[in-house]
Copies of this chain bind each other. A is one copy, B any other.
């Protein structure tokens, strides 16, 4: 243990990184930047950067995402802190990793500051990543897959109003296995967190679908009563 005054020799830098997931038309993607500078110049990485002295970790993540990619994050949660001694060739850098969810269709991604390029990569076609970012991304995927079964975070990836089939397709994709449509619908509706709207939408052929909307207020009420979301 050291008191702070004789800890001036601590040379550890603190950064934040965010694995940002987006979903569109049955495909999950992660947002990556191409590094403009060394180390790993030209290689892909998850967006992130160093924390400023007077900003919280969450603020840092949001600022970096804004700066590097133009993304406006919809849902953000801390994932894990990676502190292996040799994870950054520049020196000791500990990074607090986050998972973010966004609706890709609500904005345009634009590379800036230290990102040469920003791009969505579908999870089955990821490029080689810098640092230990593959490990971080793997953990983020695992977290997302686990979490959608016990927290209603899937809605953060869909439009505010969505047909039930979108939700079903999202879960099929995320869980990587088929879902029985009838049972899934029954279960989700029995959770009482979806409002069925008086609007229909038809995409191409087939019977038009009713639109639904996640009722977050109702969810928090139920959560307070100890009623849990589980799929």
Interface residues of A (CB under 8 A from B): 1-4, 7, 9-14, 37, 49-57, 64, 67-68, 78, 80-81, 83-85, 90-94, 96, 113-115
Q: When A13-B10, A14-B12, A14-B94 are in contact, do A2 and B53 touch as well, CB less than 8 Å? A: no
- Quick one: copies of this chain in the complex? 2
Contact residues in B for A37 (Cβ distance below 8 Å): 3
Q: Of B14, B83, B91, which one neighbours A56 at CB under 8 angstroms? A: B83
Query: In the assembled complex, which residues on chain B have CB atoms less than 8 Å from the CB atom of A50?
Result: 1-2, 4, 7, 10
Is A80 in contact with B83, judged by CB distance below 8 angstroms?
Answer: no
Q: Are B96 and A83 in contact (CB under 8 A)?
A: yes
The contact sample of 29 A-B pairs, CB cut-off 8 A, is A1-B50, A1-B64, A1-B67, A1-B114, A2-B49, A3-B37, A4-B91, A4-B93, A7-B50, A9-B53, A10-B13, A10-B50, A10-B51, A10-B53, A11-B53, A12-B13, A14-B94, A51-B94, A53-B92, A54-B85, A54-B92, A55-B85, A56-B84, A56-B85, A57-B81, A57-B94, A78-B81, A81-B96, A94-B96
A230 to chain B, nearest CB (A): 12
Residues on the B chain within 8 Å of A4, using CB: 13, 50, 90-91, 93
CB neighbours (8 Å) of A14 from chain B are 10, 12, 14, 94
**Which residue of the partner chain B has the closest CB to A14?**
B12
Assembled-state Cα–Cα distance A54/B87 (Å):
12
- A90 CB, min distance to chain B CBs, angstroms: 5
Taking the nearest CB of chain B, how far is it from the CB of A74, in angstroms?
Answer: 21
Q: Beyond the given A11-B53, A12-B13, could you list 13 further A-B residue pairs with CB under 8 A, ordered by the A residue number?
A: A1-B49, A2-B49, A2-B50, A4-B93, A10-B51, A14-B14, A51-B83, A57-B81, A57-B83, A57-B94, A78-B80, A83-B96, A94-B96
